[in-house]
Amino acid sequence: MHISTFRVFRNDRIATWVLLVVQIVTLLTLAARVSDAQDSIKTRRGTNIVGVSLGVPGYQDQPLPLQLTTVGLSVTHVEPMHVGFDLSVGTVPRLVADGAPIFGARVGVVLPIPVVGQLTLLPGAGISGIGNGDGGELGWNVNLGALAAVSRSTALRTGVSVHQFGEERGAVVWLYELGLAWFVE
Please give the pLDDT value at position 171: 76
Contact 85, 76 (CB under 8 A): yes
Tens digits of residue pLDDT in 22-77: 666 666 555 554 444 444 444 446 789 999 999 999 998 889 998 999 999 999 99
In a domain, 1, yes or no: no
Please give the pLDDT value at position 19: 66
How many residues are recorded in the chain?
185
Print the domain residue range for 77: 10-184
In a domain, 3, yes or no: no
In a domain, 116, yes or no: yes
* Domains held by the chain: number: 1
In a domain, 2, yes or no: no
- Which candidate, 107, 109, 10, 13, places its Cα nearest to that of 59? 13
CA 90/CA 85 separation, integer angstroms: 17
Q: What is the CATH number of the domain that holds 107?
A: 2.40.160.20
In a domain, 4, yes or no: no
